[in-house]
Amino acid sequence: MQKPVSLETDRLFLKPMSIDEADFILELYNSPNFIRFIGDRNIKSIQDAEQYILSKFLPQFERLGYGNFLIQLKSTGQKIGGVGIFEREGLEVQDIGFSFLPEFEGKGYGFEASKKLLETSFSAFGLKKISAITSQENRASRKLIKKLGFTYRSTVQLLGDKEELRYYEIEAP
C-alpha cells in the first residue's frame, strides 16, 4: 500500500478524506446540486457519514494510496469540497469526481483541484488513463471536464442506474 499523499495548489490544500470529515460529508452530500447531479447517497446523520467514509473512502486509500480528497482553502482552512479518483462499478477506467458546497461553485476551485489531482494521478499514482462521467444536464461539470482536457467518448449507464451519462477520457501525457 502507498501512503496517501496530501496535495497543494496556489489556493487550496487537498488531503485524504478521513473519518474526521463526517460532518462535512453530511453537509456536502446533502447539498442540492450534489443530490441533483450525483445522487442521494442516503447519508442522513453523522453516523451515516462515518460509515460511508469507512466503507467507501478508506478501503480504496488503503488498497491504492489514492481516493477522495477533502478540499480546503489555504487562506482560512475552510472545507469547501471534495475531489477524487474512484473505482466505479461498471467503468473499466478510474474516474475523477468533484463536488463543492454551493457557495464555492463557479470560482475556479474545481479546475485548480482537479488539475492537481490529475497531474499527481499520472506522475505519482501511475495511472495511464482517467475517465470522467457526468449527467447530460450538468453543464458546469461538462465545461470543467472539457477545460481539463478530457475527450468525449460515448454515453454510459452505471449498474443499477437508469440515467445515461456522458463519458469522457484523458490519457497520461
Residue 52, SS3? helix
Q: Is the pLDDT at 112 greater than 80, yes or no?
A: yes
CB-based contacts of 143, cutoff 8 Å, min separation 6: none
Q: pLDDT digits over 49-58, tens only?
A: 999 999 999 9
Assign 89 a pLDDT band (cuts: 50, 70, 90): confident
Q: Is the pLDDT at 2 greater than 60, yes or no?
A: no
Assign 90 a pLDDT band (cuts: 50, 70, 90): confident
* Inter-residue long-range contacts of 135-139, CB under 8 Å, 24+ positions, other chains counted: 135/37, 135/163, 135/165, 135/166, 136/164, 136/165, 136/166, 137/37, 138/37
Q: Is the pLDDT at 1 greater than 60, yes or no?
A: no
Beta-sheet pairing, 95-100 with 129-135: parallel
Q: pLDDT digits over 18-45, tens only?
A: 999 999 999 999 999 999 999 999 999 9
Mean pLDDT confidence for 110-121: 97
pTM beyond 0.85, yes or no: yes
**Whose grid coordinates read 454510459?**
156
- Give 47: exposed, middle or buried? Use CB within 10 Å, 0-12, 13-18, 19+: exposed
Mean pLDDT confidence for 118-141: 96
Per-residue pLDDT at 163? 86
Instruction: Write out the three cell numbers for 38.
Output: 450525483
CA distance 140 to 130: 19
Give the rounded percent of residues in the chain with a pLDDT score beyond 70.
98
Q: What residues does each domain of the chain span?
A: 7-171
Mean pLDDT confidence for 122-133: 96
Q: Tell me which CATH code domain 7-171 carries.
A: 3.40.630.30
